[in-house]
Structure formats: C-alpha cells, structure tokens
Amino acid sequence: MVNKKSLVSIVLLATMVCSTVMAGCGENGESEKEETSQKSSVVSKVQESSQNNKTTKASSQVSTAKKNDEKSKAESKVQSKVESSAEEKKEEKKNKLKPVPTKIVDDDKLPLPEVEDPTPDYYGEDINNIFVYNGTAYEYFYGDEYMAQNYSDVVSYMKKQLGKDITVYNVIVPTHMGVDLPAKFEGQKGTSQKDYMHTVVTSYSADVKGVDTYSKMAHHRNEYLYFNSDHHWTSLGAYYAYRAFAEKAGFQPLDLMKLKSGKYEGFYGTFTTTYDVPDLTPDTVYYYYPDYDIECQLFDENAQNPIDWQIMNTYVDADNASFVFLGGDYPLIVSKNPKGNGKKVAVLKESFGNFFSPYICYTYGETHIIDPRHINIDLKNYLEKNGISEVIIVNNVMASATDIVLDAMKNLVSGSNGETEQSFDEFSEENDNGDEEYADNDEEDNDEEYDVDYDEYY
C-alpha cells in the first residue's frame, strides 16, 4: 500500500515530468515555428534572388540589345564614312581634270607657260613601263633623228608621187609626255618630242606644207589637252591642232564655243584597260558638233559598199567613249557638208586623226577620211576620180616612228605615177640629207622598246 508520503513524491515527480514534457513541447513548437520562419525566409530570398536574376537578365538583354544597336549604328556610320570617303575621292579625282576653256584665246606670241605642278617634291613612278604622275599616265617616246628624217622622207615621197596639183599638209602631233610634264622632268623621260618634230618639219621637200602643232598646243598646256587614262589627245587638244592647220591653210577656224557639245564622264582608257595601270584619274570625253546635219557614209577597204554613218557616234557609253569620234578606225568615211567651204579634202590618219577629222568635216564641203592601214586603193587615182586637190596627213609622233604606219602610207602611192614610178628607196637615196650615221639604227630594237601592237593600238 502506498503511503501518503510516497504518493506525494509520485505526484511531485509526475508534475516535474509533465512540466518538463510541456516545456519540451513548448520548445519544440517554437523550434518548428523558427524552422518554418527560416524556410520562409530562404524561399523568400530564393524567390527574391530569382526575381533579381530575371530582372538582371532582362536588364542585361536590354543592355546587350542597346549595345548591339549602338554597334550597328557605329558600323553604319563607319560604312557611311567609307562610302562618303570613296565618293569624295572620286569627286576629288574628277576635280583634278584640267580645265576646258569657256573662251578660246590665241596667245602664241607669249612665252610658253610653265606647267602647273601641285606636287613639286613628288617624282612619280613607273608602272608596267608607263610613267604615272598625279593620277595621269604618260607613254615614253624614244624616237630619234633617223626616225624623224625617215618619216619626213615618206611624206615628201607621197607628195612627189601625187604630183604638183595636189597640196599636201602634214600635221604631226606630240603625245602627252611631249607637252605637259613639269620642268623638273626635262631630259629625263624619253627623248625630246619637240626636237623630233623640229627635225620632221624642217626636212620635208619644199612643196610639203608642215603644220606646227607643238607651239600651238604647248601654249595651252595647262588645259585639258590629253586624257589621264588613255594615250590619245582630247577633242580640245585636236581643236588646237586644227587651229594650227587653219593658220597654215589660210582660213578662219571654227569657234569651238559656237559648236554644240556633249560629254561622257567616268571614262577609263587604254592605260587602264590595256596596261592595267591602277588609280588613274577618270576622264571626261567632250565632243563637239554643229547644229545641223552632215551627210556621212562608211565604205569598205576597197572604197565600195557604202552604208549610212555618223561623224559623232553617240550610241557609245562611258566605257568606250573615245569611239564617239567616227566610231573608231575604218578604211574610208566620207562626209558632205552643205554649209562647208565647197572644197574637197582627203585626211590620211591613224587613231589620233579620229579626234581631228570632225573639225575638217565641219569646215570643208566634202571630206574623205582614209586610214592607210585598212584600205586598198591607189590614192592618186582616187583623188582624181573624186576631184580632190588637198591632202592632210595626221600622225602622232609614236605612229610616225613605226613601220606599220609608214609602210601603209607608202603603199597608197606605190605605182601611182605609171611610167615615172619611183620606189621609196630610190627617192630616199636621191634626197639623202647626209644621215648615213643613223643608217645602222636597229629598227627591231626600237619596236621592242614600245612593246605595242601599233596596228591595233593607234
């Protein structure tokens, strides 16, 4: 039996245990609440971090898009600047073209002007055997006194074969290098074209009328006389030669400013297309024509089978703009000008003559333009048949020193005098001017120096 004292002890013990249990239960409850609170805090922090990450990612995407947009705009600006720079350079090159005058002034009595030189400390470079200076290409000329004398003999021979009733003019033309290189290059680039031409014009037989184109052109050397990218002269250069011819022939030349005009911009010629010379200044091809129609026909190599033609072939585009003049090299072109001077003339020419001949067509009543390299006629008989009493021979100095051109000229008059026929060799010996010292000149070496197919080139 449990005594009273033991019962009290048991009750006290139970109370202590219960109290302990209750305390433990209370502690566990608080612990659970604290754990729950901690979990909620972690979840909240995770959610907050996730939200922050999303916000950061979104912000980053916006920033990246903005950067890409800015980069794209920057690249666009750079591209725009590059294109703008290219256009500026193109425009700058166009602006480098020498001027075309608005008024023609003859100042031949004045001293020759100095060639304008914007880069006095620059001396150019050779590219593919072509001299290049300030965006302009120049071909070297190595003609010597023997060649000049030989050409003069051929012209004189033609005059003798054609007879006293035919007036023969010879228009010999300098190339670009012979007219407008700055003074600092004097004596350094090929042989002197001025000296070569002097030998030619002072060595004709007395009845050939030589035309001094050099002086006329040199007085206008700071104008646009020659192309930058092509070996030809411009229509302006040809016009000054025409004025020199007019003075010799004794008539008033046409006023260039009273003719109508057209042009092709962005032309690249033979130095670019044939010689692959880079970075040349693009050219503008100007052409001139009257305000009325001139009848024109093209004939084959036998002076047969005519077809309608044009002096200015305006169907061309900028890539072949130099062919606007006569359409290029053909055996025979005949024009009839109702407003001309009523006279008939024959022009014997290579490709430089394509730029010169239109002014003759605008002046004479009837003009027969003959390319000796491509035609098969007896010139004397042809002149008689067509009632022609004047002949103009037009050659640039390079062509005058080549066998293809000289042989073609001689072939036009070989045998034209019938019983009084005289070969060129006989004529040359008969008119020997004491140039035996040049007789052993190696013509093959001279041709190799040019390294050009002249039949195609000129």
pLDDT at 58 over 80: no
Predicted confidence at residue 424, as pLDDT, reads 82
Predicted confidence at residue 101, as pLDDT, reads 83
Alpha helices for 139-233 (secondary structure H) = 145-162, 193-201, 213-218
Predicted confidence at residue 23, as pLDDT, reads 44
On whether the CB atoms of residues 396 and 175 are closer than 8 A, the answer is yes
pLDDT at 25 over 70: no
Dihedral sign computed on CA atoms, order 307, 313, 314, 320: positive
pLDDT at 414 over 90: no
pLDDT at 391 over 80: yes
Q: Which range among 198-212, 220-234, 317-331, 347-361 shows the weakest confidence by mean pLDDT?
A: 198-212
Over range 166-173, report the average pLDDT: 98
On whether the CB atoms of residues 191 and 140 are closer than 8 A, the answer is no
Task: Using pLDDT thresholds of 50, 70 and 90, give the confidence band for residue 28.
Answer: very low
What is the percent of the chain where pLDDT is above 90? 65
Residue positions counted in the chain: 458
DSSP summary character for residue 325: B
pLDDT at 5 over 80: no
Q: Which residues are 234's β-sheet partners?
A: none
DSSP summary character for residue 145: H
CA 276-282-288 angle, 5° bins: 120
Predicted confidence at residue 131, as pLDDT, reads 97
Question: Token pair of 166, please?
Answer: 């035919």
pTM of structure: 0.76
Predicted confidence at residue 33, as pLDDT, reads 46
Domains in the chain: boundaries: 61-95, 125-457
Q: What is the pLDDT of residues 281-316, one digit of tens each?
A: 999 999 999 999 999 999 999 999 999 999 999 999
Over range 225-237, report the average pLDDT: 98
Q: What is the pLDDT of residues 189-229, one digit of tens each?
A: 999 999 999 999 999 987 999 999 999 999 999 999 999 99
What is the percent of the chain where pLDDT is above 70? 72
Q: What is the pLDDT of residues 107-120, one digit of tens each?
A: 777 888 999 999 99
Q: Where are the beta strands (DSSP E) in 161-259?
A: 167-173, 208-211
